[in-house]
């Protein structure tokens, strides 16, 4: 009796599973029944064949239902396991042979979701680190300004030996603060995709002459020679002039900041399809281990030195983004205490 009720229960379940195919089976049965009625003359055989047809349809429906049930169960288990994070890798996802295409798709989806989650986590981590860095960077000049102002208010304002010096230092820190804010605005514009580029052909010789001459007074303050070797006047390169100015100014200011004696040189090397812009200095250089990291946000080889010369640690990160938008990249060659060379190519 127990067995019978189990069989009946299974029959019921599997037939219900096969319900989606009922219409097709009924249609097929009607067609076969009509064929039997037309072809078989003996009415007893006709009845027998129709009964057989009915029974075989039920058996086939039962088998189809059973298979469908099994497959749906497998899929449900896989979905459940994915939802409960039970898999370590997509290799653990396995369905029976008949579902191999579905298995491939589920694996692809699983990998894509995992990659998305991983990059979201990384992004979250980068955001938190960035925020911590920004807070730290803001705190340094604000505290310094606060300190100088308080000391002046406490009486130093009347001491001619220090009052101007303290005001000058406070002013220096407000400049750092404003540099940092400007760089932060640039970074956020880049990240939100708001930095609009406007590509055009422009005369590189005129461009570099102007940018270099604008930085000459800064080089003079450090007694550095700033030289630009002109290139043929007709050479036109392709890019966004304003953004490229930001790149070259940054490279020049870095070259001047991190060079104590000698010279800073700007030149263009013409190649068949490109023009290569080079900024070279005879400064402190960059240790090999730091070379890969100087383009990271807030990365400085020597934090104290960078801050003392007004660096934000964001300049090269911005430069990298701008060059990426031009489909090019910075190449750096540097040797400690000998100097550095930053170069990038632009299309002719």
Residue 65 makes contact with ligand ADP by CB under 6 A: no
Residue 215 makes contact with ligand ADP by CB under 6 A: no
The 10 Å Cβ neighbour count of residue 231 is 19
Instruction: Describe the strand order of the beta sheet including 263-270 as a list of residue ranges.
Output: 225-229, 263-270, 274-281, 339-347, 331-335
Residue 304 C-beta: closest distance to ligand ADP, Å: 10
Q: Are 225 and 262 in contact (CB under 8 A)?
A: yes
Residue 87, class by beta-carbon neighbours within 10 Å (0-12 exposed, 13-18 middle, 19+ buried)?
middle
Q: Which is nearer to ligand ADP, 231 or 317 (CB)?
A: 317
Q: Which is nearer to ligand ADP, 65 or 311 (CB)?
A: 311
Which x/- pattern over 120-149 shows residues binding ligand ADP (rule: CB under 6 A)?
A: ------------------------------
Residue 284 makes contact with ligand ADP by CB under 6 A: yes
Q: Are 176 and 142 in contact (CB under 8 A)?
A: no
Residue 315 makes contact with ligand ADP by CB under 6 A: yes
Residue 264 makes contact with ligand ADP by CB under 6 A: no
Integer Cα distance of 254 and 301 in angstroms:
12
Q: What angle do CA 20, 22, 26 make, to 5 degrees?
A: 155
Residue 340 C-beta: closest distance to ligand ADP, Å: 4
DSSP state of 131: H
Q: Which of 283, 321, 322, 346 binds ligand ADP (CB under 6 A)?
A: 283
Instruction: Determine the size of the site formed for ligand ADP (CB under 6 A).
Output: 23
Structure token digits, residue 99: 């579902």
Q: Which is nearer to ligand ADP, 95 or 284 (CB)?
A: 284
Residue 320 makes contact with ligand ADP by CB under 6 A: no
Residue 230 C-beta: closest distance to ligand ADP, Å: 22
Q: Which is nearer to ligand ADP, 114 or 343 (CB)?
A: 343
Residue 226 makes contact with ligand ADP by CB under 6 A: no
Could you please report the per-residue DSSP string of 262-315? SEEEEEEEE-SSEEEEEEEE-SS---GGGTTTTTSTT--SSHHHHHHTT--S-H
Positive or negative torsion for Cα 305, 310, 314, 315: negative
Q: Which of 170, 286, 323, 330 binds ligand ADP (CB under 6 A)?
A: 286
Q: Which is nearer to ligand ADP, 137 or 205 (CB)?
A: 137
Q: Which is nearer to ligand ADP, 115 or 225 (CB)?
A: 225
Residue 306 makes contact with ligand ADP by CB under 6 A: yes
Structure token digits, residue 228: 């630009």
Integer Cα distance of 156 and 164 in angstroms:
10
Applying CB under 6 A, which residues contact ligand ADP?
250, 254-255, 258, 281, 283-286, 294, 299-302, 306, 311-317, 340
């Amino acid at each position: 009796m127990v067995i019978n009720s189990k069989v009946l229960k299974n029959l019921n379940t599997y037939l219900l599973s096969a319900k989606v195919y009922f219409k097709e089976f009924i249609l097929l049965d009607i067609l076969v029944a009509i064929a039997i009625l037309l072809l078989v003359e003996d009415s007893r055989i006709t009845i027998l064949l129709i009964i057989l047809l009915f029974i075989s349809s039920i058996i086939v429906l039962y088998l189809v239902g059973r298979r469908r049930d099994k497959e749906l169960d497998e899929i449900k288990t896989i979905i459940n396991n994915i939802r409960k994070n039970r898999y370590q890798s997509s290799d653990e996802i396995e369905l029976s042979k008949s579902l191999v295409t579905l298995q491939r798709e589920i694996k692809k989806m699983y990998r894509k979701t995992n990659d998305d989650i991983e990059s979201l986590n990384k992004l979250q981590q980068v955001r938190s680190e960035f925020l911590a860095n920004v807070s730290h960077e803001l705190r340094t000049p604000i505290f310094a300004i606060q300190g100088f102002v308080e000391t002046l208010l406490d009486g130093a304002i009347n001491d001619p030996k220090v009052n101007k010096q303290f005001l000058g230092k406070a002013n220096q820190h407000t400049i750092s603060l404003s540099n940092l804010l400007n760089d932060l605005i640039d970074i956020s514009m880049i990240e939100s995709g708001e930095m609009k580029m406007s590509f055009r052909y422009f005369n590189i010789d005129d461009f570099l002459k102007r940018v270099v001459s604008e930085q000459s007074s800064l080089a003079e303050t450090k007694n550095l020679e700033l030289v630009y070797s002109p290139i043929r006047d007709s050479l036109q390169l392709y890019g966004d002039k304003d953004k490229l100015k930001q790149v070259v100014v940054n490279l020049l200011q870095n070259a001047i900041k991190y060079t104590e004696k000698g010279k800073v040189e700007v030149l263009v090397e013409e190649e068949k399809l490109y023009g290569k812009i080079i900024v070279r200095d005879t400064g402190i250089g960059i240790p090999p281990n730091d070379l890969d990291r100087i383009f990271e946000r807030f990365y400085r080889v020597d934090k104290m030195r960078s801050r003392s010369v007004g660096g934000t640690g964001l300049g090269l990160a911005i430069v990298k983004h701008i060059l990426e938008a031009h489909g090019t990249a910075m190449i750096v060659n540097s040797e400690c205490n000998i100097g550095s060379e930053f170069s990038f190519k632009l299309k002719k």
